[in-house]
Amino acid sequence: MNTNLKISNVTKIYPGCVANDNVSLEFNSGKIYALLGENGAGKSTLVKILSGVIIPDEGKIYLNENNLKLNSPLDAKKNDIGMVFQHFNLFETLSVFENLIIDSDEQRESVREKIDAIMKKYNFSIDLDIPVLNLSAGQKQKVEIIRCLIRSPKVLIMDEPTSVLTEQETSELFLSLKKFSEEGILIIYITHKLKEVMQLCDEVAVMRRGKLVSVSEIKNENIESLANKMVGQNLKTIKKKKAKTSSDQLIKITNLNFTSEDPFETNLTDINFSVNRGECLGIAGISGNGQSELFQVLSGEIISEKNSIEFNNNYIGDLSPQERREYLMAFSPEDRLEQAAIPQMKIFENVALNNFKSSNFFNNGLINENKIKEHSKKIISDFNVNTDNIELKSQFLSGGNLQKLIIGRELITSPDLLICFNPTWGLDVGAINYIHETLIKINEQNKSIILISTDTDELLKLSDKISVIHKGKLSKIMNSEEVTSEKLGILMGGAN
């Protein structure tokens, strides 16, 4: 049976922002649709309207010519619209099975049979009786998908589903989605990742600042054309000039080891490398191969042997992050809201957290608020953070703006070395470009960068030298001109 979903003149206005401006779209089953846009373009608002979480100010939604009244998530479910949110809607302390039956009126046994049948059909294997908090992100997503499939939906909406998945899990997801589509489920795929759109979808609708910009078939598009539509201007292609080869060594890591007691952490074995001034060393690898531990050892969150890290002719292996900052190191951790900033604190308070001695942010234990605010304003304008309110709580900044703020904060000391861990994770194209430009500028000022990243394109673009980390061991360090993404892929898989 054919399913036809029509969104007609939908408008949703929030104070100070038009999230959806008169959006009309039509979808038919048998195809996979991409809804593409930067963070804050209004995609999430639109799908929340489709799933009944948000009620639009104006506009109508038709499913097979029937006008739907979607006043609550329950209405969407009743009308066979299934939705997998970007942030999982699971109950962590309940078992998988309990999560799946909570919204079902059927008998436990019959639901269990249904779930077993679905898992068999799509090759999912999940233990139904363990609590959800023991599952990996990919498994959690499968639970969400099963929850939708139990109701045999006509429409399945996926909101940024790959942001938490590994590459392996992503390709498994794509296979499943294609299968669902063949079986007649209409699939709407929300993302800002262009590659995925090209790989998976048949048609693409691009949104920008709440408006629908274009609807087209994938075969008529390519990554550049989509990127330009998404950002609304022609993106500059960033290219790094080849750095002058300097032989002035800044940091040297010798025989660094780390053994963890936590079975979920990776041990680091015999790490050796050095970085010269003005250089960017990229460290590639599939996530979970020791990157997080390496970052923590370098930043001082994990203390190591004094002599294992030599920075600017000082041995600093046993120093805390605070003390390392005094030696002009700076850090940008992976998890922006958990590690780099405190979400409930205001922007200027987060700026002060860096707490560098010579910053004059504190006088005799008192906070020098004017000084901090002045500096925060400077960061906001210098680094293009899209707000003028430094009293705003950081949790309300988009990922891109928050990352710009963090990098800006870290550069206050004009550090000799910046260590970044997945700095563009989850950001949209515009913000990624900006961060990349900033990092290149740092190198041009003869400052150094250690860039730990799972994004090989990013590494190839920015690094002068590249190494690959696999199971806590570092490969030999290569000049980036000699490296291709294929070669990196092989090393990341553990081959020599």
Q: Footprint of another protein on this chain (CB under 8 A)?
A: 53-55, 72-74, 77, 85, 88-94, 98, 101-103, 131, 133
Residue pair 63/4 in contact by the 8 Å Cβ criterion: yes
- As measured in angstroms, the least distance from the Cβ of 146 to another protein is 14
Closest CA to 157 of 167, 168, 145, 165: 145
Q: How far is the CB of 89 from another protein (least distance, A)?
A: 4
CB of 132 to another protein, least distance (A): 9
CB of 442 to another protein, least distance (A): 39
Closest separation between CB of residue 400 and another protein, Å?
23
Which residues, at least 6 apart from 166, have a Cβ–Cβ distance to it below 8 Å? 138, 286, 287, 288
Give the separation between CA 41 and CA 38, rounded to whole angstroms.
5
Tell me the closest approach of the beta carbon of residue 117 to another protein, in angstroms: 22
Q: Decide whether 103 or 248 has the Cβ nearer to another protein.
A: 103
Select 101 or 250, whichever has its Cβ closest to another protein: 101
Q: What angle do CA 101, 105, 109 make, to 5 degrees?
A: 60
- Are 406 and 340 contacting, i.e. CB atoms less than 8 angstroms apart? yes
Kindly tell me which of 58 and 217 has the beta carbon lying closer to another protein: 58
Q: Which residues contact 489 (CB under 8 A, 6 or more apart)?
A: 456
| Smallest distance, another protein to C-beta of residue 91, A | 4
Instruction: Considering the complex, state which of residue 102 and residue 353 has its C-beta at the smaller distance from another protein.
Output: 102
Cα–Cα distance, 141 to 44 (Å, whole number): 17
Which CB sits closer to another protein, 14 or 322?
A: 14
Query: Between 74 and 303, whose beta carbon lies closer to another protein?
Result: 74
Shortest CB 101 distance to another protein, Å: 7
Least distance between another protein and beta carbon 20 (Å): 14
Give the H or E element holding residue 119.
Answer: helix 108-122
Q: H helices within 204-346, ranges in order? A: 223-231, 291-299, 321-326
C-alpha 295: how far from chain center: 18
End-to-end C-alpha distance for the chain, whole angstroms? 52
**In this complex, which beta carbon is closest to another protein, that of residue 132 or of residue 452?**
132
Least distance from another protein to the Cβ atom of residue 92, Å: 6
Distance (Å, whole) CA 397 – CA 380: 12
Alpha helices in 124-256 (DSSP H): 137-149, 167-182, 194-200, 223-231
Question: What is d(CA 140, CA 468) in angstroms, rounded to the nearest whole number?
Answer: 29
If the CB atoms of residues 133 and 215 are measured against another protein, the closer one turns out to be: 133
Q: Which is nearer to another protein, 90 or 351 (CB)?
A: 90
DSSP state of 357: G
Which residue shows structure tokens 């409930």? Answer: 344
| Structure-block tokens of residue 213 | 């910009």
Cβ closest to another protein, residue 55 vs residue 490: 55
Return the residue matching tokens 């600017």: 312
Please give the Cα distance from 89 to 261 (Å, whole number). Answer: 32
